[in-house]
Amino acid sequence: MRVTDVKMESYRWPRKRPIRNGRYIYPTSGLDIVTIETDEGVTGIGLSGGVQEFPTIGMEILAYLKQYVLGQDPFDTERIWDDMWQPKLVGRRGITTRVISGIDIALWDLKGKAAGVPLYKLLGGFADKIPVYIAGGYYEEGKGLDDLATEMEEAVDLGADAVKMKIGGAPINEDVERVRVVRQAVGPDVRMMVDANCAYRYYEAIEIARKMEPYDIFWFEEPVNPDDYKGHQLVSQATTIPIATGENEYTRYGFRDLIETRSAAIIQPDGLIMGGVTEFMKVAALAQAHDLPIAPHGTQDVHIHLVSAIPNGLILEYYSTSTDPLHREMFEETLQVEDGHVRPPNRPGLGIVPNMKVLERYRVA
């Protein structure tokens, strides 16, 4: 079997209302789909993270990287990844690695389809279901405390027993009140995470962490800049709340530095960003060697396979229609939350089929 073509299509659609976290405003959502075709008719589908915001750049990077994939045996993922990741010629992080991620994920999807097994089974098949949390709690224009409480209650009603909300986009005491209201709304038995999206300096993060401790926070995500390993370490040493981070980290090298500094208790690689399945599995093994759990960031349709394949998988992030209006429409079949868990699909590969009837109207490249 040989690769005959590699292509990427990007889609972007508006949200009803822009959502905001501790640092950024998101008026749109989107999807980047990498397709790899072979001479035996088997096709792989991969997803990349955030390239639709810069579609022209992403397409140029893909055009450059194709030379390392065309004509190759798609099962040779290690060699193909190594050939694509050339720091002297292309970027070591950012959009380049995100495009590499999409290509690598498509190759693994293809391998699963060729073998006739779901990706999580191909990778190791550790678990048949994974605990899930609903991500949300963003800031929105006109959204008050009652609206926030209702959103979190509805997340629990979806079948989850864990929720995540944003902080860092308001004064510290105002955010602490938001945390109190959510804890009161969901009750004492629901796990509750907070995510600052790198909004704080380390001493500010320590202040809000200490003020949130009475509300039984399961983790405090990205309290400071992703490159501030020492800041993460200082925050973690100053609070009883576990620190989680990693969504803005790239490749095994970045996670090596993060893990060696003991900057976080929970590691959050995003396979669509940090290098694909190939790199994710190496990071998961590195974390396992340090007795650290993995709670992947981002798209559940890919990460359900990755977190189900490893012994140190902790929980799956899940986005619903509250954060993405096309949540139930972008793929022909979507993952369902049942009793606080999600099960990986038993279809070969990733088991996802993009719903092109819906997506085509939103294509940007």
75 with 159, same domain: the answer is no
C-alpha torsion 176→180→186→191, nearest 10: 50
Distance CA 149, CA 252 (A): 38
- Residue 350, in any domain of the structure: no
163 with 247, same domain: the answer is yes
131 with 275, same domain: the answer is yes
| Average pLDDT over every residue of 116-139 | 97
171 with 106, same domain: the answer is no
Q: How many domains does the chain have?
A: 2
Q: State phi, psi for 201 to the nearest 5 degrees.
A: -80, 160
Q: State phi, psi for 43 to the nearest 5 degrees.
A: -120, 135
Question: Per-residue pLDDT tens for 256-271?
Answer: 999 999 999 999 999 9
86 with 66, same domain: the answer is yes
104 with 173, same domain: the answer is no
pLDDT at 88 over 80: no
Sheet holding 25-38, edge to edge: 3-20, 25-38, 43-48
- Residue 135, in any domain of the structure: yes
- Residue 298, in any domain of the structure: yes
pLDDT at 323 over 90: no
What do you get for the CA distance between the two ends of the chain, in Å? 29
- Residue 257, in any domain of the structure: yes
User: According to the model, what pLDDT value does residue 134 have?
Assistant: 96
173 with 245, same domain: the answer is yes
- Residue 96, in any domain of the structure: yes
User: At 53, is the pLDDT very low, low, confident or very high (cuts 50, 70, 90)?
Assistant: confident
Residue 65 three-state SS: helix
- Residue 352, in any domain of the structure: no
pLDDT at 89 over 80: no
Average pLDDT, the chain: 96
Instruction: List the Cα angle 240/306/253 in 5-degree steps.
Output: 70
User: At 55, is the pLDDT very low, low, confident or very high (cuts 50, 70, 90)?
Assistant: confident
- Residue 324 sits in a domain whose CATH number is 3.20.20.120
259 with 289, same domain: the answer is yes
Question: Per-residue pLDDT tens for 229-247?
Answer: 999 999 999 999 999 999 9
Question: Per-residue pLDDT tens for 160-191?
Answer: 999 999 999 999 999 999 999 999 999 999 99
22 with 146, same domain: the answer is no
Question: Per-residue pLDDT tens for 329-341?
Answer: 999 999 999 999 9
pLDDT at 103 over 90: yes
Closest CA to 347 of 122, 131, 127, 132: 122
List b or e across 57-73, with b for residues whose CB sees 16 or more CB atoms inside 10 angstroms. Answer: ebbebbeebbebbeebe
Percent of the chain with pLDDT over 70: 100
- In the structure encoding, which two tokens stand for residue 227, read together? 């490159």
Question: Per-residue pLDDT tens for 11-48?
Answer: 999 998 999 999 999 999 999 999 999 999 999 999 99
User: At 77, is the pLDDT very low, low, confident or very high (cuts 50, 70, 90)?
Assistant: very high
Q: How far is CA 184 from the centre of its chain?
A: 28
Cβ contact 266:295 at 8 Å: yes
- Residue 203, in any domain of the structure: yes
Q: For 89-100, give the DSSP string.
A: TS-SSHHHHHHH
DSSP label at residue 365:
-
144 with 37, same domain: the answer is no
Residue 264 three-state SS: coil
User: According to the model, what pLDDT value does residue 321 have?
Assistant: 82
- Residue 21 sits in a domain whose CATH number is 3.30.390.10
Residue 355 three-state SS: coil
- Which helix or strand (DSSP H or E) is residue 173 part of? helix 172-186
What lies within 8 Å, CB to CB, of 58 at 6+ separation is: 8, 10, 32, 48, 51, 52, 95, 98, 99, 365
15 with 130, same domain: the answer is no
- Residue 284, in any domain of the structure: yes
User: At 136, is the pLDDT very low, low, confident or very high (cuts 50, 70, 90)?
Assistant: very high
Closest CA to 268 of 219, 208, 205, 321: 219
Q: Is 260 exposed, middle or buried (0-12, 13-18, 19+ CB in 10 A)?
A: exposed
User: According to the model, what pLDDT value does residue 137 have?
Assistant: 96
164 with 311, same domain: the answer is yes
Cβ contact 273:105 at 8 Å: no
Residue 162 three-state SS: strand
Domain of residue 28, residue span: 3-116+357-362
Cβ contact 47:102 at 8 Å: yes
User: According to the model, what pLDDT value does residue 327 have?
Assistant: 84
- In the structure encoding, which two tokens stand for residue 163, read together? 């929720």
